[in-house]
Amino acid sequence: METVLIKNAMLVNEGEIVQKDLLIHGALIHKIADFIDQKLADNVIDASGLHLMPGWIDDQVHFREPGLTHKATIASESRAAVAGGITSFFEMPNTNPQTTSSEALAEKFEIASQNSIANYSFLFGGTNDNLKEIISIDKSKIPGFKLFLGSSTGNMLVDDPEVLREIFSNIDLPIAVHCEDEVTIKENLSRFIAEYGDDIPIGKHPEIRSEKACYLSSSRAIELAKETGARLHVFHLSTAIETELFENDIPLKEKKITAEVCVHHLWFSEEDYEEKGTLIKWNPAIKKKTDREALWKALNDDRIDVLATDHAPHTLEEKQQVYTKAPSGGPLVQHALPAMLTAVKRGKIEFEKLVQKACHNPAILFNIEKRGFLKEGYFADLVLVDLEKKNTVIKSDLLYQCQWSPFEGTTFEASVEKTFVNGNMVYDQGKIIENSLGKRLTFHKN
Ligand code: DOR
C-alpha cells in the first residue's frame, strides 16, 4: 500500500488550526504529528502555505441518475464534487424511477459503485403510498429518509397527514424534509398567473414560494416531530423566521431536531434576480438580504447544524424558459467550498466553524463511520486549499454536465488545490485523476 506524507500544512480540524504533518497509508490517515520523517513515505507533498481540511460531506445533492441523465450523471457530478473539495455525498430520491423501493435503491448503489469518484449514499424517498417499503427497507444501509413536504422537481409531494404521522412515528433514522406549504404556494402562484400569465417576473419567486409557505411547513414538521419523537432534519432553511424554530443549547449528538442551510441561500439575495434571472430560481427561493444575514447568524450560533449544496442541475435550455416552465435548482458542488472560503476571508464565518458544519456535523448527525474528521484511523478524505489563490469561474473549467454555473464570472478569494478520497488523490489543480472510485458510506448505530 502506498504511503503519502503531507508536510507543513495548517490542519483545520475540531475547532483548531495547527501546523502538522499527516501520513496517509492506503485508504486511511495513519499518523498526525508535529513532525513525521519523510523517509516513512513513498510520496511527499510539501503543503507549506496551504490548509488541510477533511473532505466536505454534502448531505443534499441531486445527481439525476437514473432517468434524468440529460441533466447530469453520477459520473459527471461526482467529478465536479471532488474538484470542489466534496468527498462524500447523499443523493436525493427524486430521480426516475424515484428511490422509493428497495429495487430502485439497489440500482442507484450499483450505478454509483461503477461511476462515482466520491463516496456515496442515498436518502430513501417517502411518498403518500410507500409506507410498507419505508418500514421494511434495511435501515443499516442508508443514512436516512427524504420527504418533500412541498412539491419540487420530481412530483414527490407527501401531503397525507396520516401517512406523515405514520412515517414520523415508525422511523428512528433522520428524516430530512423539504418544507414549503403547498396550499400557500398554489394560492400565490394563481394570483401571479392571473396578473402576468406564464411570464411572471423572476423577482416575484420569493413572493410565490414565500416566507409564510416555508414557515408554515417547517413549524408543522417540527410540531409533528416533537409529538412523535421523530429525528427530524430540516433541509435548506431560507428565512429568518425559521431560524427561530431551532435551538443551540444542546450538543448536536443530543438534538432531535436539526437544520441545514445551503450555499446559495448564504451567497445570493433577492437583489441578484435582476442579473441572474431564472439561473438562481431555487426551491425554496432565495429571499431578502435580512433573511441571508439571519441564516449566517444561525449557522454561526449553532441553531443551524449543517452546510450543504442542494446541487440540482438542469440544462441551460430548461432554465432559460419562461418563469412557470423554468425548473428550480442549479449546479453548485464545484464551487461551494471556494464560495464558503471566500466567506471565511470576508469574516462571515471562521474556518474552523465551516469545517464543523460541512465535515464534522454531517458525520455526527448521520452516524457516518470514520469520516468527517482528521483523525488517525479515519479514511483519508482530505482537501488542500489555498486561501491566497484567487480563482475566477469560467465556462471552460466547469465539470458539470450542464455546462453552466450561477457563479460564472465570479472571482473567489480561495482555491481547492488537491482532493483525496480514501487516500487516493482524485483532483490536482484543475485536473481529475482517474485511478480510483469512491466507496459506499457506512453507518454505525447510535
Ligand atoms: O430548487 C430545487 N431543485 N429544489 C428542490 O427541492 C429540488 C431541486 C431539483 O431536484 O431540481
Cell for 237? 432553511
Low-confidence ranges of the chain (pLDDT < 50): none
Q: How far does residue 114's CA lie from ligand 1's centre (Å)?
A: 25
Q: Would you give the DSSP letter of residue 158?
A: -
Position 421 scores a pLDDT of 99
**Which residue among 89, 265, 280, 310 is best mutated to probe the pocket of ligand 1, counting the most ligand atoms within 8 A of its Cβ?**
310
Regarding the beta carbon of 328 and ligand 1, being less than 6 Å apart is answered yes
Regarding the beta carbon of 283 and ligand 1, being less than 6 Å apart is answered yes
Which helix (H) or strand (E) element contains residue 169?
helix 161-170
94-120 pLDDT per residue, tens? 999 999 999 999 999 999 999 999 999
Task: Tell me the C-alpha distance between 362 and 72, whole Å.
Answer: 24
**Residue 313 alpha carbon, nearest atom of ligand 1:** 11
Position 393 scores a pLDDT of 98
318-335 pLDDT per residue, tens? 999 999 999 999 999 999
Regarding the beta carbon of 94 and ligand 1, being less than 6 Å apart is answered yes
Position 150 scores a pLDDT of 80
**Which residue among 89, 328, 332 is best mutated to probe the pocket of ligand 1, counting the most ligand atoms within 8 A of its Cβ?**
328
Instruction: List residues with catalytic annotation.
Output: 310
Which phi and psi (to 5°) does residue 172 adopt? -95, -30
**Residue 282 alpha carbon, nearest atom of ligand 1:** 1
For residue 97, cis peptide bond before it (omega within 30 degrees of 0): yes
Residue 220, number of CB atoms within 10 A of its CB: 16
The one-letter code for the residue type at 57 is I
Which helix (H) or strand (E) element contains residue 316?
helix 316-319
Regarding the beta carbon of 329 and ligand 1, being less than 6 Å apart is answered yes
Position 446 scores a pLDDT of 66
Task: Tell me the C-alpha distance between 237 and 194, whole Å.
Answer: 29
Position 152 scores a pLDDT of 77
